Amino acid sequence: MSNAKPLILVSNDDGITSKGILTLVNVMKRIGDVLVVAPNSPQSGMGHAITVGESLRLEENFIFEDVQAFECSGTPADCVKMARHFVLKGQRQPDVVVSGVNHGSNTSISVLYSGTMSAAIEGAIEGTPAIGFSLCDYSHDADFSHTEAYIEKITREVLAKGLPKGVALNVNFPPASQGPIQGIRICRQANAKWVEEFDQRFDPNGRRYFWMVGAFVNFDKGEDNDEWAIANNYVSVVPCQFDLTAHTAIPLLNQDWSILDRADSAHPEVSEYRIPGKEDRA
């Protein structure tokens, strides 16, 4: 690998043999030196799980032409950790972490459950600019080709401009069947959620089991969110962070809770919590 080119770490949650990661690797090869560390089996819906209390396995895989690649028995977050702290230990670290291209949507609340985005968030935790890419198409023969030019543009922009500290981008593409993409929109996460039901079933031995079903419900009527962007054939880009603190709730709780030691109110870090802004850019 040459220091003249950016070093790009690629991972995903659909597994190292998925169609989406092949698309991502092929695009990244146009931009820089590529290292792949990805799960050896599908890890969708794993969120930011990590493997503790059991062993991890890591094996080199020669599935990609001219690209060093490893398959890992762990989760997407495990893969990024293994890449940084084992495969690249004592060596140059990635200039950007990219994850995907996920086979299915990761808009709105899905970002919390997404293994794709957890690989990207793990990169952000380590201080590396990171992007998770997803295609909003669950069909078996989904077409990823229309995503390639936008993946390249967005990745090059991040490499050139950087991202605020602790931020990863959640990028979603509309399906090719919707027609030509209209452009890129910087969005917020839509106010939407999965409304689950549990279908009770019985196996051949008469033992009960459950299958989670349900529907995705969008409560958001705005035109500045990721669900609107996808519905209107834009690429949605949502900046995400791993700090889940509800910053605006801190002064409210300090003011309203009677169980607090009021002596603490003299400390600005408790009573006047500052909401991070542009000055926190890395």
- Does the annotation flag 14 for ligand binding? yes
- Does the annotation flag 261 for ligand binding? no
Output the CA torsion sign for 268, 273, 279, 282. Answer: positive
Taking the C-alpha atoms of residue 246 and residue 272, their distance in angstroms, rounded to an integer, is 14
Are 169 and 238 spatial neighbours (Cβ–Cβ below 8 Å)? Answer: yes
Burial degree of 72 (CB within 10 A; 0-12, 13-18, 19+): buried
Taking the C-alpha atoms of residue 174 and residue 282, their distance in angstroms, rounded to an integer, is 31
Taking the C-alpha atoms of residue 244 and residue 102, their distance in angstroms, rounded to an integer, is 23
Taking the C-alpha atoms of residue 63 and residue 123, their distance in angstroms, rounded to an integer, is 24
Tokens 């890449």 correspond to what residue? Answer: 83
- Does the annotation flag 102 for ligand binding? yes
**Residue positions forming the annotated binding site:** 13-14, 44, 102
**Residue positions forming the annotated binding site for a divalent metal cation:** 13-14, 44, 102
